[in-house]
A and B are shown apart, each in its own frame.
Chain A
């Protein structure tokens, strides 16, 4: 048995204080991890908040630009036929369906829908991250 092994063996077998980690070390490590996580969540919260704001402004701008195209589109007038002349529309449903597809303002609706989706998604992520930030971590650290 060489000298190094002897030292290791004696250190493991003995109950000396030097071989044991200090009691507060685990707590310190956990708090450090929580603080690091908290920092990352805060960064996420800021990014999501800004992205929500960005997409909201984008939605307002895109709606202002596309509102006239959507409201004045022939598809809106054709849709109103469903309520005023339902029987006739049903009897010519194929022509009606084609006319709706033809006149539907696809580009405008898709542009608005993309921004609506982006606002909803980023808002959802912001709220979720906010609750994570204010609830879970604070409770853990305070405990």
Chain B
């Protein structure tokens, strides 16, 4: 019985079928990841657009729609760019793709410059930062880690 099963599994047709099946599973996993990431990016971009006036008061709607036409969705969990404004609990940074992102700073946020942890007040305009965080329902990124890096 066992030998028969081994013989069946050892046949070329079964081997090819198993390979195709494994490849299909890998493709489905990649597709699922793509959907997950795409959905998060789309949700964040939607919230970002919806709350644009609240988040970035200085910008007019006309400029917003013109600048973003044809762009893809934004990264929802991270931001890399230069600080352009520091508020009481938020940070506005402008990325290399010219997209402004509003970063919310909470008590849990870790801010690092070199080897040291620094306070939120130590951040200033024109600092280049890498932000790791979680997208909020208001189009902000709740920062978990802010790393100040050197300018390129």
Contacts and interface: CB of A to CB of B under 8 A. Distances in A.
A86 to B, nearest CB: 11
Contacts of B76: 98, 102
Contact of A78 (B37, B96, B130): B130
Contacts of A78: 78, 80, 130, 132
A85 interface: yes
A92 interface: yes
Nearest to A75: B78
B86 interface: no
Interface string B128-146: 0010111000000000110
A77 B132 contact: no
Provide the main secondary structure of the chain A interface.
Answer: helix
Contacts of B152: 72
B132 A102 contact: no
Given A74-B80, A102-B77, A81 B33 contact: no
Nearest to A71: B152
B75 A95 contact: no
A77 B93 CA distance: 15
Interface in A30-49: none
A36 B144 CA distance: 69
Contacts of B80: 74, 77-78, 103
B150 to A, nearest CB: 11
A74 to B, nearest CB: 4
B37 A84 contact: no
Interface of B: 33, 37, 40-41, 75-80, 95-96, 110, 112, 130, 132-134, 144-145, 147, 149, 152
Sorted nearest first, the 6 A-B pairs with minimum C-beta distance are A99-B77, A99-B78, A74-B80, A102-B75, A77-B130, A98-B77
29 contacts: A72-B96, A74-B75, A74-B79, A74-B80, A74-B95, A77-B80, A77-B149, A78-B78, A78-B80, A81-B145, A81-B147, A84-B112, A84-B147, A85-B110, A85-B147, A88-B110, A89-B145, A92-B132, A92-B145, A95-B132, A95-B133, A95-B134, A98-B40, A99-B75, A99-B78, A101-B37, A102-B75, A102-B77, A103-B78
